[in-house]
Structure 1
Amino acid sequence: MNAVTIAVIVVAVFLASCMQASIGFGMGMLAAPVVALVAPALLPGLLIASATVVTLMVVVRERASLDLRGTGWALAGRVPGTVAGALLLVWLPARGLSLLLAAVVLGGVAVAATGWRPAPLRRNLATAGAASGLLGTATSIGGPPMALVYSGAANAHVRSNMSAFFLVGSLMSLGALAVTGSLSGDILQAFVALVPAVMLGFVASRFINRFLDRNRLRAVSIIVSALGATALIGQQIFF
C-alpha cells in the first residue's frame, strides 16, 4: 500500500473508532465503505479486530450501565448468525461482497432515517443479535440491527450494552474468520499498526461528546456512511 492509501485508512479508522465510542456503533458503517474502496482485501477482519479494541475500552468506561441479561439474549442470537456470516464470506466473490457491504450500509441508513424503534424484548434482542452476527461477520457492519432495539435507551446504557455485545460478538466473528481462512497475516499486521488510531479515536470521543450531541453525531454518521456506500457502488459498476 502507498502512503495515501495508508493515510486514508488511518483517518477512516480513527473517525470510526470515535463514533463507535460515542454512540455505541459505527465502526463498520463509517470505515467499511472507505476501506473497501482503497484496500478491500483487509475486510472484514481489520475492522472487526479494531472494533474489539474500542468496545473493550467502552465496556470498561461504561461498566456501571451494563445489563448482562439483555446482552445475553442478543448473544444467543449472534452465534448462528456468526456461523452463517462466515460461510457467506467464503462463498461470495469480492465484487459480491462489496455490493453486499454497500447494500447493508444503505439499508441501515434507510432504517435509521425512518426512526422505527422496536422494543428491546427477548425475541427482538435475539433476532437483532442474529442479524448483527451475520452482517458483522460477513461485512464488518453489525451495528444497525442492535442500534434499533437500543435506540430508545439512555446514552450510557446504549454504549455499554452494545459495546459488551460487540466485544463478545467480535471475538466470535474473528474465531469464525480464522477457522474459514479469512483472517490473513496482512490483516493482522494492519490491525496492529492501526491500534494507536483506534485508541486515539476512543480518547477523542470524550471531547467530541462535549460539543456534538448524540443526535448530531448520528446524523453526521448517516450522511457519511451513505456517501461512502454510494461511492463504493459506483466503483463496482463503472470501474
Structure 2
Amino acid sequence: MTALGLALLAGAGFLAAAVQAITGAGFGLVAAPVVLLLAPALVPGPLLVVTVALMSLAVVTGYRSGGRLGREDARLLVPASAGIVIGTAAMFPALGWVGEHESLIRTVVGVGVIVAVIPMLVPGFPAPAAGPVVISVAGVLAGVLTVLAALPGPPLILTYPATNAARYRTGLAVLFLVASLAALMVLATGPGVAPGGWEGAGVFCVGVLAGFCAGVVAGRRLPLAVVTYGSRLTVLSAGVALLMPLVG
C-alpha cells in the first residue's frame, strides 16, 4: 500500500472513531465503505476485530461519563442482542454466496439504508415504537448486515430509543460489541477472520485511537437531539458511500 493510501486509511479511522464517540454510532458505517476501497482485505474480519476493541472502550468510557444502563435499558438490549446472534448465525450457510456477490450486496444494502433513513431526517417524523419486538427484529437485521459488510448500525440506530445522550451512546456500544463478536465467531468457522491479511491495520488503529479520544472531548456537552440526528446522518452517509463504487 502506498504512503497516500496509508494516510487515507488512518484518516478514515480517525473520522469514523470520532463520529462514534460523538454520536454513539457510525464507526462501521463510516469506516467500512472507505476501508473497502482502500484495503478490501480488512473487511469484514480485521475491521470487526478493531470494532470489538473500540466498542469495549466505548462501553467503559460511557459508564464513567454518566451512561450507566439500568433495567429499562436491559429490557431492550437483551432481545436486541438475541436477535443479533440469530441474524449472524443465520448467515453462516451463505458465506460463500456473500463472497461471490459483493457488488449486488453493496447495492441492495446501500439502497435499503438510504430509503429507511431519509424519512427519519425530516423534522417531526415519528420514530418507530421501540419495544422488545421491534428491537429484536432490528437485532436480527443488524446481525445479517454485520456479516455482509461489517455494518450493524442502520437497524439499531434507527430503532434504539434515546432518552439520555450518554446512555444512548453506551447502549449502542453494547449492541455493536455483541454484533461484532457474533460475526467474528461466524467468520472464524468459515473463511477465517483475515484470509486476506492485515496490511494497513496498524496505521488504521492509530487513527482510530486518536479519533476516539478527540470525539470524547468534543461530544461531552452535545444535547441529545444533536447526537441522535448526527447518528442518523451517519446512516445516510454510509448508504451513499456503499453506492459510490457503482457510480464510478
Structure 1 residue runs of 5 or longer lacking an equivalent are none
Q: 2:176 — aligned with what?
A: 166
**Alpha-carbon deviation of 1:180?**
0.5
Conserved 8 A contact 2:14-2:207 = yes
Q: Which residue identity lines up with residue 231 of structure 1 in the other structure?
A: M
* Structure 1 CA distance for aligned equivalents of residues 84 and 219 of structure 2: 29
1:73 aligned onto 2:79 = yes
* Structure 2 CA distance for aligned equivalents of residues 46 and 111 of structure 1: 28
Higher relative contact order (CA 8 A, sep 6+): 2
Q: Which residue identity lines up with residue 116 of structure 2 in the other structure?
A: V
Alignment of 1:1-239 (within 5 A): 1-63=1-63, 64-66=67-69, 67-94=73-100, 96-115=101-120, 117-184=127-194, 186-188=196-198, 190-209=200-219, 213-214=226-227, 217-218=230-231, 221-222=234-235, 224-235=237-248
**Alpha-carbon deviation of 1:217?**
3.7
**Alpha-carbon deviation of 1:24?**
2.1
**Alpha-carbon deviation of 1:220?**
5.4
Tell me the secondary structure at the aligned position of residue 117 of structure 1.
coil
Question: Relative to 1, partners in 2 of residues 1:171 and 1:192: Cα closer, same or farther, differing over 3 Å?
Answer: farther
Conserved 8 A contact 1:53-1:198 = no
Q: For residues 156-189 of structure 1, what are the alpha-carbon distances to aligned partners after superposition, in whole Å with 9 as ceiling and x for unaligned?
A: 1221111011112211111111110231265456
Question: Relative to 1, partners in 2 of residues 1:87 and 1:188: Cα closer, same or farther, differing over 3 Å?
Answer: farther
Q: Which residue identity lines up with residue 163 of structure 2 in the other structure?
A: A
Q: How much identity, in percent, do the aligned residues show?
A: 30
Provide TM-score, normalisation by structure 1. 0.85
* Structure 2 CA distance for aligned equivalents of residues 41 and 189 of structure 1: 8
Question: Relative to 1, partners in 2 of residues 1:106 and 1:18: Cα closer, same or farther, differing over 3 Å?
Answer: farther
Conserved 8 A contact 1:46-1:190 = no
Question: Relative to 1, partners in 2 of residues 1:15 and 1:57: Cα closer, same or farther, differing over 3 Å?
Answer: same
Higher helix share: 1
Structure 2 residue runs of 5 or longer lacking an equivalent are 121-125
Question: Relative to 1, partners in 2 of residues 1:90 and 1:185: Cα closer, same or farther, differing over 3 Å?
Answer: closer
Q: Which residue identity lines up with residue 54 of structure 2 in the other structure?
A: V
Conserved 8 A contact 2:23-2:228 = no
* Structure 2 CA distance for aligned equivalents of residues 210 and 163 of structure 1: 16
Tell me the secondary structure at the aligned position of residue 153 of structure 1.
coil
* Structure 2 CA distance for aligned equivalents of residues 201 and 139 of structure 1: 22
**Alpha-carbon deviation of 1:226?**
4.5
